[in-house]
């Protein structure tokens, strides 16, 4: 009986200051946007702090994108992060709260990349399923390149680029720079990185089953941007080299 009392007491204290607790499905766990082990990251912390400012506690549930869709449709969660408005789910969508930006990344100045049409040659290592995510034109051009490969382990992109095993990396800039922190500093300083902006940015929203929660998220997002909280989160995930 005493154990039950202590458990309930601890639960009550853990939720002090929150008028409501919601469970939100997270289908993309890509550091430093979402870091599953520590329940942190630029994107996840932005969402948590936006709702926290409105008295709502966000509890993330990490799932596959397929399971995310099922859980939302069956209302087993209260919302979802990292979605697009055309995802086809019965949700109220927020303002954009995170933007992913893919680049063609090189260490050699003489590699000319002005558009995806320049990706028909060179040793390229892209993130897994890049052909799916980056559109039909991208798929058409890289399919002509016999030296094009994809990897599910993105740190390999950094390692292979610095070792001159590849010429071009296709990756989100922030993910690449986050992974770069695992490369020894003397190696990083030995080469200059060049970022070729040939892809459009991907603006993501969150979606909630309750319209009032969506409205609270938008209010909170504006609030944390105004009071400096958002800039502090961004600063944690800024990398120079």
In the chain, the percentage of residues whose pLDDT exceeds 90 is 89
Whole-model pTM over 0.85: yes
Query: Does residue 186 or residue 1 have the better pLDDT?
Result: 186
The answer to whether 206 touches 24, Cβ cutoff 8 Å, is: yes
Determine which of 12-16, 106-110, 169-173 has the lowest per-residue pLDDT on average: 12-16
Farthest-apart Cα atoms in the chain, separation = 73
User: Average pLDDT for residues 59-66, to the nearest whole number?
Assistant: 95
Mean pLDDT of 5-34: 74
Give per-residue pLDDT as tens, 88-106.
Answer: 999 999 999 999 999 999 9
For residues 84-90, average pLDDT: 93
Residue with tokens 């740190």: 155
Q: Is the pLDDT of residue 173 over 90?
A: yes
The 124-127 sheet, strands edge to edge: 148-151, 124-127, 168-172, 102-106, 194-196
- Which one has a higher pLDDT value, 240 or 112? 112
Query: Could you give the residue range(s) of every CATH 3.40.190.10 domain in the chain?
Result: 2-99+202-236, 102-196
Q: At residue 9, does pLDDT exceed 50?
A: no
Give the pLDDT confidence score for residue 81 in this predicted structure: 98
Rg (C-alpha) for the chain, rounded Å, is 21
Average pLDDT over residues 184-195: 95
Q: What is the CATH number of domain 2-99+202-236?
A: 3.40.190.10
**Residue 16 in tokens:** 């002090």
pLDDT band at 157 (very low <50, low <70, confident <90, very high): very high
Q: Residues 108-132: what's their mean pLDDT?
A: 96
Rounded mean pLDDT, 151-167? 97
Between CA 87 and CA 95 the distance in angstroms is 15
pLDDT reading at 6 higher than 90: no
Q: Classify domain 102-196 at the CATH topology level.
A: D-Maltodextrin-Binding Protein; domain 2 (3.40.190)
């Amino acid at each position: 009986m005493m154990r039950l009392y202590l458990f309930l007491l601890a639960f009550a204290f853990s939720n002090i200051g929150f008028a409501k607790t919601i469970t939100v499905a997270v289908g993309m766990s890509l550091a430093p946007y979402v870091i599953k082990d520590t329940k942190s990251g630029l994107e996840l912390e932005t969402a948590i702090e936006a709702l926290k400012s409105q008295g709502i506690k966000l509890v993330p549930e990490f799932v596959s994108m397929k399971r995310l869709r099922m859980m939302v449709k069956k209302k087993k969660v209260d919302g979802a992060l990292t979605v697009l408005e055309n995802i086809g789910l019965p949700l109220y969508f927020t303002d954009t709260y995170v933007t992913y930006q893919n680049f063609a990344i090189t260490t050699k100045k003489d590699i000319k990349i002005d558009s995806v049409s320049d990706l028909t040659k060179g040793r390229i290592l892209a993130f897994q399923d890049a052909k799916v995510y980056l559109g039909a034109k991208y798929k058409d051009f890289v399919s002509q390149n016999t030296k094009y490969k994809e990897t599910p382990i993105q740190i390999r992109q950094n390692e292979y680029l610095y070792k001159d095993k590849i010429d071009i990396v296709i990756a989100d800039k922030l993910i690449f720079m986050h992974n770069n922190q695992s490369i020894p500093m003397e190696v990083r300083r030995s080469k200059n990185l060049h970022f070729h902006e040939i892809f459009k940015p991907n603006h993501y929203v969150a979606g909630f089953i309750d319209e009032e929660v969506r409205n609270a998220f938008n209010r909170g997002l504006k609030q944390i941007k105004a009071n400096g909280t958002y800039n502090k989160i961004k600063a944690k995930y800024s990398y120079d080299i």
